[in-house]
Amino acid sequence: MGDYSIGVDLGGTNLRIAAVDSDGKLMEKVTLGAEVSRGRDFIITEMCKAIETLRAKHRQAGELLGIGIGVPGFIDMATGMVMYTLGTGVGGGLVFNGRLWHGMTGMAGELGHFNVYADGHPCGCGSRGCLEQYASATAVVRMAREAITRDESAELKHLSHDPVQFTARSIYNLAVQRETASKKVFENVGRALGIGIGAMVNALNLPMYVIGGGVSNAWDAFAPAMFEEIKFRSSIYSLTSPDRIGHDKGTIITRALLGSDAGLYGAARLPMLEGFSQFEKGRHTTG
């Protein structure tokens, strides 16, 4: 038996809780609906109930190292303040030397609010043209509805008659069937990502940029436009792309292998990293 931690991934649609052991193996996962309309207290109560259930069930598995919670919004690391923005958008993080970069107050990595179009679609943050207005599941649905308004697609119009089925996934299914308006929606996703990632490549020159989350499942629909835009926007990528200098040394832009479970694993990993940091601090102090 080994130690484990519990990770929580709170999204705009789902609330997911998982127990993960110290070797990174998923022990158990629970998925609930994130019923944001019922308020913050309800969501927190449901989260705590699920955590307690997992903790009781795996009490004999080993020591619980801690609980990590991933939430959308801004976090002040000093005070523990969280502002909940419970919408499906674009999140992000910067990892340097194997550790998450928090920034001055813990707010680093707010990649969803990179401005990709100066006079673009209004964003909930108060700005316009933010990346999450073009590269999120919510944005995919909005752009599809805009195509319907312009009378560009009978297929999308027919699909929209059932609001439950009118999702980013169903729009992607039309795109892979080469439906023109749906293909254009995902090309817009790719171009917006290309603008944002191109800027990051120019600024940071990191070896790898990883794209995860539900929309990454539509990789084949948006990636060609994304890479075309990145090559146009970033001379650094053009000089360091894998096809130019070799895959082992080039600037790699790829999909996340963990898919939609990445947030769960990251949240569960956090207590393990924090525990290790405290251990190292104590060892150096007493040694």
Query: 214-263: per-residue pLDDT in tens?
Result: 788 899 999 999 999 999 999 999 888 887 766 567 888 888 887 777 77
Q: What is the mean pLDDT of residues 81-107?
A: 69
Q: Please report, rounded to a whole number, the percentage of residues in the chain having pLDDT higher than 90.
A: 34
**Is the pLDDT assigned to residue 96 strictly greater than 70?**
yes
Phi then psi dihedrals of residue 11, to 5 deg = -115, 180
Sequence ranges of the chain with CATH classification 3.30.420.40? 4-87, 95-256
Distance CA 27, CA 50 (A): 14
Q: Describe the crossing of helices 137-149 and 168-176 by its angle, rounded to 10 degrees.
A: 70
Res 74: pLDDT: 60
Res 281: pLDDT: 43
Q: pTM score, two decimals? A: 0.74
Label the pairing between strands 14-21 and 26-33.
antiparallel
**Is the pLDDT assigned to residue 189 strictly greater than 90?**
yes
CATH code of 95-256, in short, is 3.30.420.40
Q: 286: pLDDT confidence band, cut at 50, 70 and 90?
A: very low
Q: What is the mean pLDDT of residues 119-148?
A: 93
Residues 7-17 pLDDT 10s: 988 876 778 88
Distance CA 54, CA 86 (A): 24
Assigned CATH class of 4-87: alpha beta
Tokens matching residue 223: 């990636």
Higher pLDDT, 43 or 39: 43
Phi then psi dihedrals of residue 271, to 5 deg = -60, -30
